[in-house]
Amino acid sequence: MTEGLRLMHVHAHPDDESSKGAATTAKYVAEGVDVHVVTCTGGERGSILNPNMDRPDVLANITEIRRQEMDRAREVLGIRQDWLGFVDSGWPDGDPKPPLPDGCFGLVSPEEGAAPLVRLIREFRPHVLTTYDENGGYPHPDHIMCHVVSLEAWKTAGDPDAHPELGMPWQPLKLYYQHTFHRDRIVAIHEAMIARGLESPYAERLAEWKPDPEHERRVTTRVPCAEYFPIRDQALIAHATQIDPEGPWFAVPLDVHREAWPTEDFELVHSLVATELPEDDLFAGIRDLADDYDGRRETIGV
C-alpha cells in the first residue's frame, strides 16, 4: 500500500533536500507517496560554491535567488515544501570560532524552533519524519539546531496538551536520521573509481577520515534508489549557487554511483510500529496500517 502514505524531511538549508536523500524522495514520489520538505532557514549566509555564480548581482540578491533555486528543486523532485522562516547562522570560521550572529537559527530555543514545525506536522500528518543526527551530519550550527528542533517537534506534535493553538495533535510513527555521507559509502565509491582507472575526488578526504565502526553500525535502513540518481542530480543542479556542475559533486559517473552504492541510508531512531532490522523501506511496518491509523487518529482527536 502506497496511496495515502506521507513522508516529511526536515532540512537546515535550501539544497540540503537535494544533497541528502533526494533519490529516496524521488523514489517515493514516483510510487505515489506524498512528500513534504521543511526548510528551516533561507540559506542567506551560505557561501557561493559555484564559481560561475560568484558575482556581485548574485550576492546582492542571494535570499531571493536561493528561494528561486528551491522552487526549481521542488519541481524536479515533485514535493511540497515549506520554510520555517528562520535566518541562516552562517558557518563560524576561525579558531576560536566567532559568536553566532544575533537572531540566527542556531541561537533559537528548542521550543521556539519547534513551534512552526509542530504546526506543519499537525497539518501534513506525516507517517515518517526524517532529520539529522546529533552532529547535524556535519557540525554546522543550523544542522545541529535542525536536529534539536526536530526531536522537540517529534515529542510535542502528538501531545494533546502541548500547543493546542498549533492544530490537532498528530504523532508520526517513525523517526529517522539521514546518513548520506558515511565513510563506508565514500570508500566504496572511491575504490570503484580507482578500479576503473579513474581519479577519485575522495582520495584526500579519506586519507584524513579515520574509520568509526560504531558510527557505520548506526545505519539500519538502506533504501534502494539507484534508478532515481539522475533526478537527485537534476535537483542538485537546480541549486546553482551551491553546486558547480563541473565540480566534485559530479566527478563520479552515475554508473559508478549505481554499482558501488545503490542505496541511500538512514538510522531508525524511534518507531511506534513493529519492524525488523535491517530495513529497505522507510515505511516498513506502516504500509498495512496507515489507513487505519489515520482514521483512528481522526476519530479520537490525537
Q: Which of the four pLDDT bands, split at 50, 70 and 90, describes residue 299?
A: very low
Closest CA to 5 of 235, 180, 174: 174
The 10 Å CB-count burial string (b at 16+, else e) for 110-129 is beebbbbbbbbbbebbbbbb
Contact partners, residue 289, CB within 8 Å, separation at least 6:
273
Q: Where are the domains of the chain?
A: 6-181+217-297
Q: Give the model's pLDDT for residue 213.
A: 84
Q: Does the pLDDT of residue 1 top 60, yes or no?
A: no
Contact between 120 and 36 under an 8 Å Cβ cutoff? The reply is yes
Mean pLDDT for 267-289 is 96
pLDDT tens per residue across span 170-181:
999 999 999 999
Residue 187 has a CB neighbour count (10 Å cut-off) of 17
Contact partners, residue 64, CB within 8 Å, separation at least 6:
none
Give strand ranges (E) for the chain.
6-11, 34-41, 80-86, 128-131, 174-178, 221-224, 263-271
Q: Give the model's pLDDT for residue 298.
A: 52
**Residue 67: all three cell numbers together:** 528561494
Q: Does the pLDDT of residue 17 top 80, yes or no?
A: yes
Report the sign of the C-alpha dihedral through residues 236, 237, 241, 243, in that order: positive
The CA distance from 152 to 168, in Å, is: 17
Q: Give the model's pLDDT for residue 98.
A: 92
Q: Which of the four pLDDT bands, split at 50, 70 and 90, describes residue 201?
A: very high
Q: Give the model's pLDDT for residue 134.
A: 96
Mean pLDDT for 53-64 is 92
Contact between 119 and 82 under an 8 Å Cβ cutoff? The reply is no
The CA distance from 291 to 275, in Å, is: 18
Instruction: Determine the straight-line distance between the first and last CA of the chain, rounded to whole angstroms.
Output: 23
Q: Does the pLDDT of residue 8 top 90, yes or no?
A: yes
Closest CA to 124 of 4, 272, 242: 4
pLDDT tens per residue across span 110-134:
999 999 999 999 999 999 999 999 9
The CA distance from 238 to 232, in Å, is: 10
Q: Beta strand pairing status for 263-271 and 174-178? A: antiparallel
Residue in the block written with cell 500500500:
1
**Residue 152: all three cell numbers together:** 522537540
Contact between 155 and 54 under an 8 Å Cβ cutoff? The reply is no
Q: Does the pLDDT of residue 230 top 90, yes or no?
A: yes
Domain 6-181+217-297, CATH: 3.40.50.10320
pLDDT tens per residue across span 246-266:
888 899 999 999 999 999 999
Closest CA to 228 of 118, 78, 94, 61: 78
pLDDT tens per residue across span 64-92:
999 999 999 999 999 999 999 999 999 99
Q: Does the pLDDT of residue 300 top 70, yes or no?
A: no
Q: Give the model's pLDDT for residue 294.
A: 79
Q: Give the model's pLDDT for residue 212.
A: 85
Mean pLDDT of the chain: 94
**Residue 150: all three cell numbers together:** 526536530
Q: Give the model's pLDDT for residue 291.
A: 72
pLDDT tens per residue across span 279-297:
999 999 999 886 777 766 5
